[in-house]
Amino acid sequence: MGFMDRLGLTRATRIERAAHRLGIVSPYSTAAPLPQLIVTDLLTEEQQANLPLTRDLALTIPAVSKARNLLVSTIANFPLRELDKTGPVTEQSSFLYRSDSAVSPYERMLWTIDDAIFYGVALWTVTRGERARDERRPILDAEWVPFGDWTIHDGRVYVYDEPALKGEVILFNFPFEGLLHVGRTTLQGARSVESAWVDRARNPIPVIELHMIDDQLTQDEADEYRKAWAAARRAKDGAIGLTPPSMELKTHGELKPELYTEGRNAIRTDVGSHLNVRASMLDGTTGVDSLTYTTKDGERNLFYELDLPFWTGTIEQRLSMDDVVARGHRVRFDKYELYNPPAPTGPTMED
């Protein structure tokens, strides 16, 4: 019996919970969608900038989305293997390659890495067999728990507000406090750059001043001209306008478009630095010495050798502990098919 079974959560209930969290609605559902009031709709841009960042807002930044998609898709594609000091064991723990829940092992690992990226922690609940001591019973199945559905209080893990017993959960504590915490300043700056870039795309002409030469126009007429010019700048053929004899058109604030390109590229570098992913893997560039020469294959190899272990190491070491697999066994990601290292799961190591 696992934690979900103890709570009386059937497979159908788990599917319903997952669907509700991901916003999935059956086409045969009788419940009509209700309009939702978004808090940010009631706040100014300055007030929104001071709000705590959420995962959804962070993913609107292209560099974050690219880094997240790269990490989760790469790591989740590596199968997990159980080994002893001689190599892969004949009888693998079943939870490493199968699942009894609505979430496949691939999705389970994908969302585990997603939680690691944004929050720095992730949690699985497990179902164990019936033999040996409680925390040493073999694990038959493992399920990922969404970040918002569990908490830690007074040293105990609570899932759906219920305390989990020892041996019912596996907590992954990554050496990273989460991008939403560590990269807060970078993400806020990135959102500002994105907003400025979009605004410049909508208004490619520099700041315009409709300078009044005399007082022939009333204030209401001047306001109408300003609104008309603002609308025309966003319309097709908006570069063509008309001013009355009493008004002179002046432009201010010329800004080179290269600054936006350089700024957006710098964001990719900064996000990559936070997530331990080299900028070249995020389609960005870095300033290097003229004597430094790198190739795409070289960057790819460095990504596998130096970048990914930061994320995969925590999972491998946690799943290698004696409360997960048999004593003397360890768990490793098998990167052989994609990376083709000398040994399928790395060098032989004592547990």
The residue count for the chain: 351
Contacts of 286 (CB under 8 A, 6+ apart): 269, 278, 279, 280
- Tokens 């919970």, residue located: 17
The distance from CA 55 to its chain's CA centroid, rounded to whole angstroms, is: 7
Is there a contact between 244 and 213 (Cβ–Cβ < 8 Å)?
Answer: no
For residue 44, the one-letter residue type is T
CA pair distance 212, 245, nearest whole angstrom: 9
185-221: buried (b, 16+ CB within 10 Å) or exposed (e) per residue? Answer: ebbebbbebbeebeeeeeeeeeebebeeeeeebeeee
Residue 41 DSSP one-character state: G
Is there a contact between 126 and 133 (Cβ–Cβ < 8 Å)?
Answer: no
Tokens representing residue 299 in the block: 């960057």
Domains of the chain: 3-181+307-339 (3.40.140.120), 207-252 (3.30.1120.70)
Q: pTM higher than 0.75 for the full model?
A: no
Where would I find the H helices in 203-257? 219-234
CA pair distance 70, 64, nearest whole angstrom: 10
Is there a contact between 131 and 43 (Cβ–Cβ < 8 Å)?
Answer: no
> Tens-of-pLDDT digits for all 351 residues of the chain?
566 666 655 555 555 555 555 444 444 444 444 444 455 555 565 566 566 788 998 998 889 999 999 999 999 999 999 999 888 999 999 999 999 888 899 999 999 999 999 999 999 999 988 765 555 788 999 999 999 999 999 889 999 889 998 889 999 999 999 999 999 888 888 888 777 766 666 666 666 777 778 777 788 877 887 788 777 776 665 566 667 777 777 776 665 656 567 777 888 889 999 999 988 888 766 554 444 555 677 788 888 888 999 999 999 999 999 999 999 999 999 986 665 555 556 555 554
CA pair distance 182, 5, nearest whole angstrom: 36
